[in-house]
């Protein structure tokens, strides 16, 4: 199985570190990049597209973040969609159990699935191998 | 009736029986007429017969004379016969004889019955030598003539010389021995001429000449076409020495009958007419009598009827003396009503029967009537009955006029209206009950006439609800619309106009202004009153629902508050759950990683992470604690606080940041202005908002912070505005006051300050509003309760 490029967008620094560990342990991911809010990720995505670098296969997107939250990120990515020639699978990952968040995620066709935290090694393997 | 006595009985009998009298008279007159006619008929008949006899006698005499002359001629002729049996100078003598007796046409001498001498001979030659005695038809008569020695006339016969004629045979004797005949032939027409029958009035009479045929013995008529005599009215005479009879027949019978018939008929007719006339004349008094009797009966009946009416009437009648006012008469009902007998009524008089309160008016009315000031009068008055009960009556008094003179009597009608009066009193009572009931209704009852567009009623409650009097309302046509609260007027008038066109019952709510200027809420319930399918009135009730409206508002506010609280609590529970779960999931993941590693280094690294999580969790717990404190702190102390002092206090706390940012303040708050608020919250709110204003300053300008305090809709408004970076409300409106929501790139933003501020304001029952434009500035307005 070809290893995947994964982007983690989450303001929780501890979570970022934990997920890095899990990725390393899973061995299914070739590279990973972390962003502390949606704005950083969008900017990077734009640069990646401009530089014609490799786009991620999977994005794990948190909802509640400062500057640009997960929903705003989803709005922004719509404008870039035409330039993206690759299928990026976006997972909404949040500790929120509010039904409105889960429901809202369904309104975005680009969101593949809503995953409640915590994400375990097995979960990650399942996500990557899902393709 | 008196006329009867003037006449004798038998005349009366006729007078009383006009029909019979008429018949009898008619009969008598008719018999009389018939008798007269009969008499007249006889007289006429006799006259006629006499006249006929005279005529017929004359004719008879003439014929007899002619025949006698003929006989004398024949005797003379016979004397000319000499002894030799030869007539001497026959022709000369004959000629002479015919000349003297011109009706004779031919003379003959017939010795032994044989015609030997004829004068004139000319034309008669054929008769020569004929033997008369051979004549078959007259044989018997001829021999009889010879035997009796009398002349015999035969014929009429058809003469051989032509025409009709008669023959006269005179037997001649010689020595008492038959010798022969002297014969004369007389033309019938000559005989008739001599008889004078031609001179009779042929229109009246018909002359007939008949001969009894010796052979057939039948009568044959001459000078007429008739074969038989059918008439009965005739005179006949037999001619001697012949078989002849002469008749005079009356031609015109009607000449006698017609006048008699006419006169008779007229007489009968007149008789009948006279009978009828008599009948009619006699009947006239009888008819008059019947009419008189009818009138009498009618009068009697009327009298009886009026008497009955007077006595049996269901209303009371009384006749009063016009001068004294005392009772002359009173009917049964009148007495019954008062419970007295008529005698008692008469004795007591009007004044004593009348209720004391009505005596004066009653006497005045009577006086007015007597003096002619009024023609009649009606009134409702009270009487006291024998049992002491008061009765109400409807009284009508009018004068009884006699020959246009001053009235001597008054007639009074009374009708018991006690029940009606009681009913009226009951109506008045119930009306007043109704009115007081309406006045006790906790609402203004009103009535409006649609046709005249006027207010017709407003209940007294208007005074306690609007402070105006009913008179003020009724007298001003535009009172209602004038007193509707300005903001509601258009709406109320519009609804009223629409509904007044459709005539549908409705109710609506609007505000009105009381006399004291207070605004009150009114619920107006409108109903329409229909007459003949058309709405003529509208009625309604205006209920003061101010208290209800306020309660409703409070309830609505409370409900809003509770639902907000609920929403917040739910939201808060999600926040707590989220915040805690993010840490617990991290812990879970770290523990899982610790469990799955054998490397000590990694384990230590994990433990460090675990410590960080612990710190974060602690921080989160502190935030939550802070928020929970706000939300659970129900019994906050609210007191009047000097806003100016609080602003200064916050400025002091933030003095370093103010100094660094070179922020300036414009404070438009009076130094003594007080705000009802919780002290800690006011400080916290001011701190958060002012610190935000400094923190989110525009990078290209120094911050200017303006703080104002003013009143809006009876509420204190604290307005804090800055010239900072502003917020894009289009993007961020839903997360301004959310927990952990940040909307700028400032890394210091924690997303907790405005969340707490909002919660504090909410828990004080107030609201916060934000107005902002990116790169221009932000204004927060805090409304107190």
Residues in B closer than 8 angstroms to A97, CB to CB, are 574, 577-578, 581
The residue ranges of every structural domain in chain B are 47-250, 313-424, 463-537, 551-632, 639-783
Q: What distance in Å separates the CA atoms of residue B42 and residue B26, rounded to the nearest whole number?
A: 24
Rg (C-alpha) for chain B, rounded Å, is 82
CB B466: neighbour CB atoms within 10 A?
Answer: 24
CA of A103 to nearest chain B CA: how many angstroms apart? Answer: 15
Report how far apart, in Å, the C-alpha atoms of B722 and of each of B11, B28, B681, B690, B701 are.
150, 154, 21, 9, 11
Any A CB within 8 A of B613 CB: yes
Q: Count Cβ atoms within 10 A of the Cβ of residue B355 and give its class: 0-12 exposed, 13-18 middle, 19 or more buried.
A: middle
Question: What is the CATH code for B639-783?
Answer: 3.30.565.10
Looking at mean pLDDT, say which of A69-83, B191-205, B241-255 comes out highest.
A69-83
Q: What is the band of B707 on the pLDDT scale with cuts at 50, 70, 90?
A: very high
| Per-residue pLDDT at B3 | 43
Give B442's Cβ-side CA count (13 Å radius): 3
Mean pLDDT of all residues in B357-370: 87
Q: What is the band of B235 on the pLDDT scale with cuts at 50, 70, 90?
A: confident
Structural contact between residues B780 and B721, judged by C-beta atoms closer than 8 angstroms: yes
Contact A17 B609 (CB under 8 A): yes
Q: Which residues of B572-597 are buried (b: 16+ CB within 10 A; e: fewer)?
A: bebbbebbebbbbbbbebbebbbeee
Q: What distance in Å separates the CA atoms of residue B144 and residue B139, rounded to the nearest whole number?
A: 8
Q: Name the least confident of B232-236, B352-356, B549-553.
A: B232-236
CA of A74 to nearest chain B CA: how many angstroms apart? Answer: 14
Q: How many helices (H) and strands (E) does chain A have?
A: 5, 5
For residue range B34-65, list pLDDT tens digits in order: 898 889 888 888 887 888 888 888 888 888 88
For residue range B742-760, list pLDDT tens digits in order: 555 555 556 678 888 888 8
DSSP conformational letter for A63: S
Contact A67 B744 (CB under 8 A): yes
- CATH level 2 (architecture), domain B313-424: 2-Layer Sandwich (3.30)
Has domain B463-537 been given CATH number 3.30.450.20?
yes
Domain B47-250 identical in fold to domain B639-783:
no
Residues in A closer than 8 angstroms to B602, CB to CB, are 21
For the record, the structure tokens of B778 come out as: 């932000």
Q: What distance in Å separates the CA atoms of residue B529 and residue B450, rounded to the nearest whole number?
A: 10
Instruction: Give residue B443's Cα distance to chain centre.
Output: 49
Partners of B166 in the β-ladder:
B186
Classify domain B47-250 at the CATH superfamily level. Answer: CHASE domain (3.30.450.350)
The pTM of the full predicted model, rounded to 2 decimals, is 0.41
| Per-residue pLDDT at B518 | 92
Where in B101-240 does DSSP place strands (E)?
104-111, 117-119, 152-158, 164-173, 178-187, 205-212, 219-222, 234-238
Any A CB within 8 A of B529 CB: no
Q: What distance in Å separates the CA atoms of residue A89 and residue A75, rounded to the nearest whole number?
A: 15
For the record, the structure tokens of B590 come out as: 């770290």
Strand B316-321 to B327-330 pairing: antiparallel
Q: What is the band of B303 on the pLDDT scale with cuts at 50, 70, 90?
A: confident
Structural contact between residues B477 and B495, judged by C-beta atoms closer than 8 angstroms: no
Give B545's Cβ-side CA count (13 Å radius): 16
For the record, the structure tokens of A128 come out as: 């990557």
Block residue for tokens 């994400």: A119
Block residue for tokens 């003037």: B6
CB B388: neighbour CB atoms within 10 A?
Answer: 7
> Fold for domain A4-129?
Rossmann fold (3.40.50)
Minimal CA–CA distance to A6: which of A129, A95, A103, A101?
A129
For the record, the structure tokens of B767 come out as: 């609201």
Q: What is the band of B130 on the pLDDT scale with cuts at 50, 70, 90?
A: confident
| Per-residue pLDDT at B1 | 42
Angle CA B334–B336–B337, to nearest 5: 65
Sign of CA dihedral B499, B503, B506, B510: positive
Asked whether residue B778 carries a pLDDT value surpassing 90, the answer given is yes
Angle CA B112–B115–B117, to nearest 5: 115
| Per-residue pLDDT at B741 | 61
Where in B532-599 does DSSP place strands (E)?
534-544
DSSP conformational letter for B175: S
Choose among A64, A117, A121: nearest Cβ to B585. A117
The residue ranges of every structural domain in chain A are 4-129
Asked whether residue B516 carries a pLDDT value surpassing 90, the answer given is yes
Structural contact between residues B155 and B243, judged by C-beta atoms closer than 8 angstroms: no
For the record, the structure tokens of B673 come out as: 């202005």
Q: What distance in Å separates the CA atoms of residue B521 and residue B539, rounded to the nearest whole number?
A: 19
| Per-residue pLDDT at B2 | 45
Q: How many CB pairs under 8 A join A and B?
A: 73
CA of B680 to nearest chain A CA: how many angstroms apart? Answer: 28
Q: In this prediction, what percent of chain B has a pLDDT beyond 70? A: 94
Any A CB within 8 A of B452 CB: no
Structural contact between residues B568 and A81, judged by C-beta atoms closer than 8 angstroms: no
Residues in B closer than 8 angstroms to A117, CB to CB, are 581-582, 585-586
Q: In this prediction, what percent of chain B has a pLDDT beyond 90? A: 17
| Per-residue pLDDT at A19 | 87
CA of B569 to nearest chain A CA: how many angstroms apart? Answer: 13
Strand A4-9 to A58-61 pairing: parallel
For residue range A9-45, list pLDDT tens digits in order: 998 888 888 888 888 887 778 888 999 888 899 999 9
Residues counted in chain A: 131
Structural contact between residues B248 and B56, judged by C-beta atoms closer than 8 angstroms: yes
- CATH level 2 (architecture), domain B551-632: Orthogonal Bundle (1.10)
First and final C-alpha spacing in chain A: 10
Sign of CA dihedral A95, A97, A100, A106: positive
Q: Which residues of A70-108 are buried (b: 16+ CB within 10 A; e: fewer)?
A: bbbbbebbeeeeeeeeeebbbbbbbbbebeebeebbeeb
Report how far apart, in Å, the C-alpha atoms of B709 and of each of B529, B536, B729 are.
56, 57, 24
SS3 of B553, please? helix
Residues in A closer than 8 angstroms to B740, CB to CB, are 64, 66
| Per-residue pLDDT at B577 | 81
Q: In this prediction, what percent of chain A has a pLDDT beyond 70? A: 98
Angle CA B210–B208–B222, to nearest 5: 55
CA of A55 to nearest chain B CA: how many angstroms apart? Answer: 25
The rounded mean pLDDT for chain B is 84
Minimal CA–CA distance to B135: which of B107, B154, B121, B111?
B154
Name the closest residue on chain A to residue B746, using Cα atoms: A67
Asked whether residue B628 carries a pLDDT value surpassing 70, the answer given is yes
Q: What distance in Å separates the CA atoms of residue A46 and residue B256, rounded to the nearest whole number?
A: 169
Structural contact between residues B185 and B104, judged by C-beta atoms closer than 8 angstroms: yes
Asked whether residue A57 carries a pLDDT value surpassing 80, the answer given is yes
Minimal CA–CA distance to B370: which of B398, B404, B336?
B398
Q: What is the band of B4 on the pLDDT scale with cuts at 50, 70, 90?
A: very low
């Amino acid at each position: 199985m070809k290893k995947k490029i994964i982007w983690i967008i989450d303001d929780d620094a501890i979570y970022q570190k934990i997920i890095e560990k899990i990725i390393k342990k899973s061995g299914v991911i070739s590279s990973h990049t972390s962003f502390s809010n949606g704005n950083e990720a969008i900017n990077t995505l734009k640069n990646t597209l401009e530089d014609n670098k490799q786009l991620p296969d999977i994005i794990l997107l948190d909802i509640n973040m400062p500057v640009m939250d997960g929903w705003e990120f989803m709005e922004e990515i719509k404008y870039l969609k035409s330039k993206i020639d690759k299928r990026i699978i976006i997972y909404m990952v949040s500790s929120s159990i509010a039904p409105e968040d889960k429901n809202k995620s369904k309104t975005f066709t680009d969101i593949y699935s809503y995953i409640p935290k915590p994400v375990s090694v097995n979960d990650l393997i399942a996500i990557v191998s899902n393709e | 009736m008196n006329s009867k006595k003037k006449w004798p009985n038998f005349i009366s009998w006729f007078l009383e029986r006009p029909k019979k009298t008429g018949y009898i008279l008619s009969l008598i007159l008719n018999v009389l007429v018939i008798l007269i006619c009969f008499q007249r008929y006889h007289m006429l008949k006799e006259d006629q017969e006499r006249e006929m006899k005279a005529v017929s006698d004359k004719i008879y005499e003439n014929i007899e004379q002619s025949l006698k002359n003929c006989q004398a001629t024949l005797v003379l002729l016979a004397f000319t016969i000499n002894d030799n049996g030869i007539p001497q100078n026959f022709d000369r003598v004959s000629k002479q004889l015919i000349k003297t007796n011109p009706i004779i046409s031919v003379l003959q001498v017939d010795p032994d019955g044989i015609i030997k001498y004829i004068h004139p001979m000319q034309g008669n030659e054929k008769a020569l030598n004929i033997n008369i005695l051979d004549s078959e038809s007259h044989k018997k008569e001829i021999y009889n003539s010879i035997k009796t020695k009398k002349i015999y006339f035969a014929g009429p016969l058809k003469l051989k010389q032509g025409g009709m004629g008669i023959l006269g045979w005179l037997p001649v004797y010689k020595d008492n021995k038959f010798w022969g005949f002297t014969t004369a032939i007389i033309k019938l027409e000559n005989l008739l001429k001599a008889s004078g029958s031609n001179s009779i009035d042929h229109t009246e009479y018909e002359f007939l000449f008949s001969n009894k045929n010796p052979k057939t013995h039948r009568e044959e008529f001459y000078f007429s076409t008739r074969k038989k005599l059918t008439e009965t009215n005739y005179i006949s005479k037999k001619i001697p020495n012949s078989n002849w009879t002469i008749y005079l027949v009356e031609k015109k019978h009607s000449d006698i009958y017609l006048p008699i018939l006419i006169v008779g008929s007229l007489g009968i007719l007149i008789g009948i007419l006279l009978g009828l006339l008599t009948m009619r004349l006699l009947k006239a008094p009888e008819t008059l009598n019947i009419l008189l009797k009818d009138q009498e009966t009618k009068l009697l009946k009327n009298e009886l009827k009026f008497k009955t009416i007077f006595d049996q009437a269901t209303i009371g009648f009384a006749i009063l003396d016009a001068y004294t006012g005392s009772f002359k008469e009173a009917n049964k009902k009148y007495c019954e009503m008062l419970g007295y007998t008529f005698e008692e009524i008469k004795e007591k008089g009007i004044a004593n029967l009348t209720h004391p309160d009505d005596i004066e008016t009653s006497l005045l009315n009577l006086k007015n009537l007597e003096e002619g000031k009024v023609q009649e009068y009606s009134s409702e008055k009270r009487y006291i009955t024998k049992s002491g009960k008061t009765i109400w009556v409807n009284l009508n008094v009018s004068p009884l006029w006699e020959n246009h003179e001053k009235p001597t009597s008054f007639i009074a009608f009374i009708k018991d209206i006690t029940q009606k009066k009681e009913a009226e009193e009951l109506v008045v009572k119930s009306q007043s009950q109704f009115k007081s009931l309406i006045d006790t209704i906790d609402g203004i009852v009103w009535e409006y006439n649609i046709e005249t567009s006027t207010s017709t009623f407003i209940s007294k409650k208007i005074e306690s609800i609007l402070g105006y009097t009913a008179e003020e309302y009724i007298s001003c046509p535009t009172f209602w619309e004038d007193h509707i609260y300005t903001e509601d007027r258009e709406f109320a008038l519009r609804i009223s106009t629409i509904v007044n066109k459709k005539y549908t019952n409705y109710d609506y709510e609007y505000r009105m202004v009381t006399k004291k200027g207070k605004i009150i809420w009114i619920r107006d319930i409108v109903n329409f009153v229909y007459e003949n399918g058309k709405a003529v009135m509208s009625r309604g009730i205006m209920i003061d629902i101010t208290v209800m409206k306020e309660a409703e508002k409070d309830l609505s506010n409370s409900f809003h508050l509770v639902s907000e609280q609920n929403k917040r609590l739910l939201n808060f529970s999600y926040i707590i759950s989220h915040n805690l779960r993010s840490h617990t999931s991290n812990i879970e993941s770290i523990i899982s990683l610790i469990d799955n590693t054998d490397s000590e280094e990694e384990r230590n690294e994990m433990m460090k992470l675990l410590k960080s999580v612990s710190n974060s969790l602690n921080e989160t717990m502190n935030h939550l604690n802070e928020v929970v404190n706000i939300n659970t702190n129900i019994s906050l102390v609210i007191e009047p606080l000097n806003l100016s002092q609080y602003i200064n206090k916050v400025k002091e706390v933030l003095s370093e940041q103010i100094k660094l940012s070179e922020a300036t303040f414009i404070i438009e708050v009076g130094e003594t202005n007080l705000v009802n608020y919780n002290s800690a919250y006011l400080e916290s709110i001011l701190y958060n908002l002012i610190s935000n204003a400094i923190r989110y300053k525009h990078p290209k300008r120094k911050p200017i912070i303006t703080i104002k305090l003013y009143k809006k809709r009876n509420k204190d408004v604290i307005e804090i505005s800055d010239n900072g970076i502003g917020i894009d409300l289009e993007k961020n409106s839903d997360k301004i006051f959310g927990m952990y929501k940040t909307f700028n790139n400032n890394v210091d933003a924690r997303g907790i300050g405005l969340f707490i501020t909002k919660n504090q304001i909410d828990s004080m029952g107030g609201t916060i509003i934000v107005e902002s434009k990116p790169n221009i500035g932000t204004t927060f307005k805090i409304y107190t309760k």
